[in-house]
Chain A
Amino acid sequence: MRDVAVVGIGMIDFGELWEKSLRTMWAEAALAALTDAGVDSVDMVTIGCMSPGLFAGQEHLASLLADELGMAGVPAARVESACASGGLALRMAFAEVAGGLSDTVLVTGVEKMTDVDGADATFALGTAADQEWEGFHGITFPGLYAMLAQVHMQRHGTTSEQLAAVAVKNHANGLLNPHAQYHLKVSVEDVLASTMVADPLHLLDCSPVTDGAAALVITTVERARELGSERPMVKITGSGLATDTMALANRNDLSQLDGVRLAAERAYAMAGRKPEELHVVEVHDCFTIAEIMTTEAIGLFDPGFGASAVDKGLTSLHGKIPVNPSGGLKSKGHPVGATGVAQVAEIATQLWGEAGQRQVEGATIGLAQNMGGSGGSSTVHILEVAS
């Protein structure tokens, strides 16, 4: 395999972007990444997008978006793995470059979620669960994660206050991220006083509905050197992809996320790294319980200790291992297909030392974990400053 470097990122400000279409958001992020990288052509475009058909009435994004950028003719592919579509877009692009099929790839993620009303958005997101054997009974995504939370609380004594502490931390980080959807300080009391969505998850335990796009340019180390950037060289040293059973009914242990654990093990093995070597981490906090369970699954904490780690400040911006310095899905927003790409853009920004007020000092090794459905699919990528 060839070494792969990240040479450019592009983000738009996330939010309810009524004035922007899917293609406009995407093109802005893509152009920003190409400009950042200093390249004007690529060998391949990958697009992570969960459900443009249900959210925007539009499929066939490979043609639509390559064309939009004036690149008709370029190889392009839209990939889908629910909320892990962005991570999957990077994984596919990584394989292209590492395997020698392409030298330079534009990796993108996008989701336009606010052109439909709340009920249609809930339905579209619900297609990431088993429609016949879960959705039929009226369960929603907050409901599925609420079921995981109930087990974690019973097994490990995790409390609603500890779940709320995740939201408090991530909103505090989001205040420092100009791209975040919500610049909003919240307290534990605010979270506990917000509307109950699915017991025990309150509205402020949930990530929002968001429009957004994000992009990266990745290439070979040789091409990266030719580009002559003054930034430290950041390589993708590990890429892990895994699945778990779709329905919660078929999981052996509902207190942990085995698909995430497998993806992380594969990424660590490829990179030759261990969890304790990481300096900065972005995880898929679609719900507060998800941050607790994913930090356990990627090995930052033993099973059952993810919640107390937040309490102790271990995952805060200046804690032992900062988690979601970007504000996470919770505060930055969760345009589902864009999320996995935006997470890696944050890690690259941190490793370049360009994260401003939310910079994790001295960070040279980072990890991004992206997850689909109730953990039915996951990607994990490890990025490092090349020595």
Chain B
Amino acid sequence: MISPARSWREFPQRYRLEAARCEGCEKVLYPPRVVCPDCGGCTFETTPLPREGKVVTFTVVRVPPAGYTEQSPLPIALVELTNGVKVMMQVGDLADPEELEIGMPVRLEFRRVAWDGEAGLIFYGHKAVKG
């Protein structure tokens, strides 16, 4: 599973949806990187991601990996946010996973994403819910 140090390192992106805006070309990177893949710039300012978007593609994972088996069937979508940034995330609150479709509007909500048994770490992040 994920180490405490790694989990802590990812808090700004998982908890606060912090992205990086390239000072050279304005491209927004999520997660942040050392180098802008578009212009090669190396200076960024922190910016939060918007919390609305739409489903670009999706699946329902019927055979999830270890640590996620209790959540089966697990709907996961690639969501394009209103600023054009695409983010992969679980989809929550669906009465029936068959409701998922390309183009579905969603909003992002802070949720528990995974957990490492009864005594291990709990991993929080954002899920998409019908918007």
Residues of A within 8 A of B (CB): 119, 122-123, 126, 132-140, 142-143, 146-148, 150-151, 154, 195-201, 247-250, 254
Contacts and interface: CB of A to CB of B under 8 A. Distances in A.
B59 A138 contact: no
A122 to B, nearest CB: 5
A147 B59 CA distance: 6
A138 B57 contact: no
Interface stretch (B18-26, B42-50, B71-79): B71-79
Please list the 8 inter-chain residue pairs (A to B) with the smallest Cβ-Cβ separation, ordered nearest first.
A146-B59, A138-B68, A249-B86, A147-B57, A119-B66, A199-B60, A198-B59, A143-B61
B129 interface: no
Kindly state the interface size class of chain B when it binds its partner. 20 to 34
Given A123-B66, A151-B57, A139 B113 contact: no
- Of B37, B64, B71, B76, chain A has the most CB atoms within 10 Å of the CB of B76
Nearest to A117: B66
A134 B59 CA distance: 13
A198 B71 contact: no
Contacts of A254: 56-57, 78
Contacts of A143: 59, 61, 76
Given A123-B65, A133-B31, A150 B58 contact: yes
Given A147-B78, A148-B57, A198-B60, A248 B65 contact: no
7 contacts: A126-B65, A136-B123, A137-B113, A139-B59, A140-B61, A150-B57, A151-B57
Contacts of A147: 57-59, 76, 78
Task: Tell me the dominant secondary structure on chain B's binding face.
Answer: strand
Given A137-B113, A150-B59, 14 more contacts: A134-B88, A136-B114, A137-B89, A137-B125, A138-B64, A138-B65, A138-B71, A138-B90, A138-B113, A139-B61, A140-B65, A150-B58, A198-B59, A248-B57
A197 B62 contact: yes
Interface in B1-59: 2, 6, 10, 31, 37, 56-59
Nearest to B55: A150
B40 to A, nearest CB: 16
- Of A132, A146, A249, chain B has the most CB atoms within 10 Å of the CB of A249
B63 interface: yes
A150 B67 CA distance: 25
A16 B90 CA distance: 34
B59 to A, nearest CB: 4
Given A140-B65, A198-B60, A132 B114 contact: no
A142 B58 contact: no
Nearest to B60: A199
Nearest to B65: A122
B122 interface: no
A254 to B, nearest CB: 6
Given A150-B102, A249-B87, A254-B57, A137 B62 contact: no
A201 B90 CA distance: 18
- Of B2, B37, B63, B113, chain A has the most CB atoms within 10 Å of the CB of B63
Nearest to A252: B86
A200 B58 CA distance: 10
